């Protein structure tokens, strides 16, 4: 499958940690369910993945820095979950590295810390929206 769309169902529990490198999946949408637990670390095996949305669930995890290994990821939507902690790399060293990211939605979570502009130096994101009250920060062309 290149697209898996499970959006707006009544799915509960953890997302299975069963993503393999041989998969050609480009789109995964788990939005608007009742999913809990952590994001499966095996998602980093999905090298063709361009779109990942887990918005409006109950996922309880830290910011998935490990997804930066996905060379084609363009859209990452974590909005309205229970993500927590800092978004920055460990020890605030260097920029975050999501080379193809265009859209990042992280509003309505429990992230902490600061976000210096140099974290986004390598991004070509069109916009970055961190909460419901503020306008998206324009970052460049889509």
**Domains assigned to the chain:** 3-138 (3.80.10.10)
Single pTM value for the model:
0.83
For 19, counting Cβ atoms within 10 Å of its Cβ (0-12 exposed, 13-18 middle, 19+ buried), the class is: middle
Going residue by residue through the chain (142 aa), what tens digit of pLDDT does each one get? Answer: 899 999 999 999 999 999 988 779 999 999 999 999 999 999 999 999 999 999 999 999 999 989 988 999 999 999 999 999 998 776 655 667 788 888 889 999 999 987 766 666 666 655 555 555 555 544 444 3
């Amino acid at each position: 499958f290149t697209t898996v769309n499970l959006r707006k169902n009544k799915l509960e529990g953890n997302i299975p940690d069963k993503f393999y490198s041989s998969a050609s999946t480009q789109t995964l949408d788990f939005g608007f369910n009742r999913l809990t637990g952590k994001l499966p670390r095996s998602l980093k095996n999905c090298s063709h993945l361009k779109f990942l949305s887990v918005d409006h669930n109950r996922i309880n995890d830290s910011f998935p820095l490990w997804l930066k290994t996905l060379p084609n990821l363009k859209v990452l939507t974590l909005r309205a979950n229970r993500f927590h902690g800092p978004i920055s790399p460990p020890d605030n060293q260097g920029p975050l590295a999501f080379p193809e990211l265009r859209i990042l939605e992280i509003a309505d979570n429990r992230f902490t810390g600061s976000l210096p502009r140099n974290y986004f130096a390598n991004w070509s994101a069109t916009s970055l929206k961190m909460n419901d009250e503020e306008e998206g920060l324009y970052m460049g062309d889509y």
